[in-house]
Amino acid sequence: MTPRFDVIGLAVSDMAASVAFYGRLGLVFPEGAHDEPHVEAELPGGLRLALDTEATIRSFHSGWRPPSGGGRASLAFRCENPAEVDSVYEELVGAGHHGELKPWDAFWGMRYAVVHDPDGNGVDLFAPLPAEPDAPR
């Protein structure tokens, strides 16, 4: 048997805040997830995102300490179009989340933005830019 990539796990300091944040991005968690120490949401393609409270992780790994500093993990969410990148960014920032990088047209052909989740993890929002009519194919 060959191991199969199946789960992305994040340690969270506040389950309710994290469930609310990722719920705004379209992930569906079980009813009552905001009060649980471990929750999962199914992702497209069959992967799962697992959220565990820091207290839960410490309960089975006594030497564990939360990571310090940012940039240790990031998730990227594809939006339907560039306008959706802008509106999702504004919705999340308007809900009090830190906007790390305002939406911009990246040179690699995407509308791109970065918001931080409640624990400071970078969450990228992106959508392909429309092809320019005179661009080489």
Characterize the bridge pairing of strands 110-116 and 122-128.
Answer: antiparallel
Residue 135 has pLDDT above 70, yes or no: no
Give the residue among 122, 123, 129, 87 at the shortest CA–CA distance from 107: 129
**Looking at per-residue confidence, does 16 or 133 come out higher?**
16
pLDDT attached to residue 1: 82
pLDDT attached to residue 132: 73
Of 52-61, 103-112, 122-131, the range with the lowest mean pLDDT is 52-61
The C-alpha angle 126, 42, 52, rounded to 5 degrees, equals: 95
Q: How confident is the model at residue 133 (pLDDT cuts 50, 70, 90)?
A: low
pLDDT attached to residue 2: 80
Kindly list the structural domains of the chain, giving each domain's residue range(s) and its CATH number in brackets, ordered by start: 1-63 (3.10.180.10), 73-137 (3.10.180.10)
pLDDT attached to residue 5: 84
> For the segment 75-122, what is each residue's pLDDT rounded down to a tens digit?
999 999 999 999 999 999 999 999 999 999 998 899 999 999 999 888
DSSP category for residue 67: -
Residue 69 has pLDDT above 80, yes or no: no
Distance separating the N- and C-terminal Cα atoms of the chain: 42
pLDDT attached to residue 63: 82
The C-alpha angle 85, 92, 126, rounded to 5 degrees, equals: 25
Q: How far apart are CA 21 and CA 30, in angstroms?
A: 15
